Amino acid sequence: MKVEIFALCDAATESQGKLNLLGTFDQLVAGSVPVVHPACAVAIRIRFEVQEAVEHQIRLHMVDPDGQLFMKSMGASIRPRFGGDVSSAAVNLILQLQRIKFDLFADYALRLEVDDEEVASLPLRVASLR
Protein backbone atom coordinates (compact mmCIF):
# COMPACT_ATOMS: atom_id res chain seq x y z
CA MET A 1 0.00 0.00 0.00
CA LYS A 2 1.29 3.44 -0.93
CA VAL A 3 -0.28 6.87 -0.45
CA GLU A 4 0.15 8.60 -3.81
CA ILE A 5 -1.87 11.76 -3.05
CA PHE A 6 -2.90 13.30 0.27
CA ALA A 7 -3.82 16.96 -0.16
CA LEU A 8 -5.94 19.63 1.48
CA CYS A 9 -7.60 21.71 -1.23
CA ASP A 10 -10.41 24.12 -2.00
CA ALA A 11 -12.28 21.47 -4.00
CA ALA A 12 -11.83 18.00 -5.44
CA THR A 13 -13.79 15.81 -7.82
CA GLU A 14 -13.39 12.41 -9.40
CA SER A 15 -14.33 11.55 -12.97
CA GLN A 16 -13.65 8.21 -14.67
CA GLY A 17 -10.96 7.33 -12.15
CA LYS A 18 -9.24 10.70 -12.45
CA LEU A 19 -8.79 12.75 -9.29
CA ASN A 20 -9.15 16.50 -9.94
CA LEU A 21 -7.81 18.96 -7.35
CA LEU A 22 -8.31 22.71 -7.16
CA GLY A 23 -6.31 25.04 -4.94
CA THR A 24 -4.15 22.94 -2.62
CA PHE A 25 -3.05 24.80 0.50
CA ASP A 26 -1.33 24.39 3.85
CA GLN A 27 -2.01 27.79 5.42
CA LEU A 28 -5.00 29.94 6.31
CA VAL A 29 -4.55 33.63 7.11
CA ALA A 30 -7.07 35.62 9.14
CA GLY A 31 -7.38 38.87 11.05
CA SER A 32 -8.63 37.35 14.29
CA VAL A 33 -9.56 34.09 15.98
CA PRO A 34 -11.64 32.06 16.07
CA VAL A 35 -11.33 31.35 12.35
CA VAL A 36 -14.13 29.43 10.65
CA HIS A 37 -13.11 28.05 7.26
CA PRO A 38 -16.31 27.59 5.25
CA ALA A 39 -15.44 24.56 3.12
CA CYS A 40 -12.57 22.51 1.73
CA ALA A 41 -11.77 18.95 0.71
CA VAL A 42 -9.17 16.33 1.46
CA ALA A 43 -8.17 14.38 -1.64
CA ILE A 44 -6.62 10.95 -1.16
CA ARG A 45 -5.28 8.42 -3.65
CA ILE A 46 -3.94 5.13 -2.32
CA ARG A 47 -2.39 2.37 -4.42
CA PHE A 48 -2.83 -1.22 -3.29
CA GLU A 49 -1.03 -4.35 -4.46
CA VAL A 50 -3.14 -7.28 -5.64
CA GLN A 51 -2.47 -9.21 -2.41
CA GLU A 52 -4.13 -6.31 -0.51
CA ALA A 53 -7.51 -6.91 -2.20
CA VAL A 54 -9.51 -6.77 1.03
CA GLU A 55 -11.60 -4.09 2.70
CA HIS A 56 -9.54 -1.33 4.33
CA GLN A 57 -10.59 1.22 6.95
CA ILE A 58 -9.58 4.83 6.26
CA ARG A 59 -9.66 7.47 9.03
CA LEU A 60 -8.86 11.18 8.91
CA HIS A 61 -8.05 13.00 12.14
CA MET A 62 -7.57 16.75 12.56
CA VAL A 63 -5.41 17.61 15.55
CA ASP A 64 -4.53 20.82 17.33
CA PRO A 65 -0.99 21.95 18.28
CA ASP A 66 -1.10 19.62 21.32
CA GLY A 67 -1.95 16.63 19.14
CA GLN A 68 -5.52 16.49 20.45
CA LEU A 69 -8.53 15.96 18.17
CA PHE A 70 -10.40 19.21 17.68
CA MET A 71 -13.14 17.93 15.41
CA LYS A 72 -14.85 14.60 14.84
CA SER A 73 -12.72 12.14 12.88
CA MET A 74 -13.96 11.05 9.47
CA GLY A 75 -13.76 7.58 8.03
CA ALA A 76 -14.64 5.30 5.16
CA SER A 77 -14.30 1.68 4.12
CA ILE A 78 -12.67 0.98 0.77
CA ARG A 79 -11.97 -2.17 -1.22
CA PRO A 80 -9.59 -1.94 -4.18
CA ARG A 81 -10.82 -3.54 -7.41
CA PHE A 82 -8.41 -5.28 -9.72
CA GLY A 83 -8.61 -6.21 -13.38
CA GLY A 84 -7.43 -9.63 -14.48
CA ASP A 85 -3.91 -8.66 -15.51
CA VAL A 86 -2.88 -5.86 -13.12
CA SER A 87 -0.59 -6.04 -10.11
CA SER A 88 -1.89 -2.89 -8.39
CA ALA A 89 -4.92 -0.61 -8.30
CA ALA A 90 -5.50 2.91 -7.01
CA VAL A 91 -8.47 4.04 -4.94
CA ASN A 92 -9.52 7.70 -4.90
CA LEU A 93 -11.31 9.17 -1.89
CA ILE A 94 -12.59 12.70 -1.34
CA LEU A 95 -13.63 13.89 2.11
CA GLN A 96 -15.58 17.16 2.28
CA LEU A 97 -14.99 19.40 5.31
CA GLN A 98 -17.32 22.26 6.24
CA ARG A 99 -17.20 25.03 8.81
CA ILE A 100 -13.95 24.02 10.48
CA LYS A 101 -13.35 26.21 13.53
CA PHE A 102 -9.81 27.07 14.60
CA ASP A 103 -9.57 28.72 18.04
CA LEU A 104 -5.87 29.66 17.86
CA PHE A 105 -3.28 30.95 15.45
CA ALA A 106 -1.14 27.81 15.47
CA ASP A 107 0.11 24.76 13.59
CA TYR A 108 -2.52 22.05 13.16
CA ALA A 109 -2.26 18.71 11.35
CA LEU A 110 -4.35 16.26 9.36
CA ARG A 111 -3.46 12.63 9.99
CA LEU A 112 -4.38 9.81 7.65
CA GLU A 113 -4.75 6.26 8.97
CA VAL A 114 -5.23 3.07 6.99
CA ASP A 115 -6.26 0.04 9.05
CA ASP A 116 -5.39 1.85 12.32
CA GLU A 117 -1.86 2.78 11.17
CA GLU A 118 -0.87 6.39 10.49
CA VAL A 119 0.41 6.49 6.91
CA ALA A 120 0.57 10.24 6.17
CA SER A 121 0.31 13.64 7.81
CA LEU A 122 -0.26 17.16 6.49
CA PRO A 123 0.57 20.41 8.27
CA LEU A 124 -1.98 23.23 8.37
CA ARG A 125 -0.92 26.60 9.73
CA VAL A 126 -3.49 29.15 10.83
CA ALA A 127 -1.67 32.50 10.77
CA SER A 128 -2.45 36.09 11.69
CA LEU A 129 -2.59 38.83 9.06
CA ARG A 130 -0.41 40.95 11.33
Structural domains in the chain?
2-128 (2.60.40.2560)
Predicted model pTM: 0.94
Q: How far apart are CA 82 and CA 41, in angstroms?
A: 27
Q: Which of 95, 104, 92, 105 is nearest to 39 (CA)?
A: 95
Q: Which of 105, 59, 58 is nearest to 78 (CA)?
A: 58
Q: Provide the CA 65 distance to its chain's centre, in angstroms.
A: 18
**How high is the pLDDT of residue 83?**
84
Q: Provide the CA 20 distance to its chain's centre, in angstroms.
A: 14
Please, what are the averages of pLDDT over each run of 10 residues along the chain (130 residues)? 99 96 98 97 98 96 96 95 91 96 97 98 95
**How high is the pLDDT of residue 31?**
96
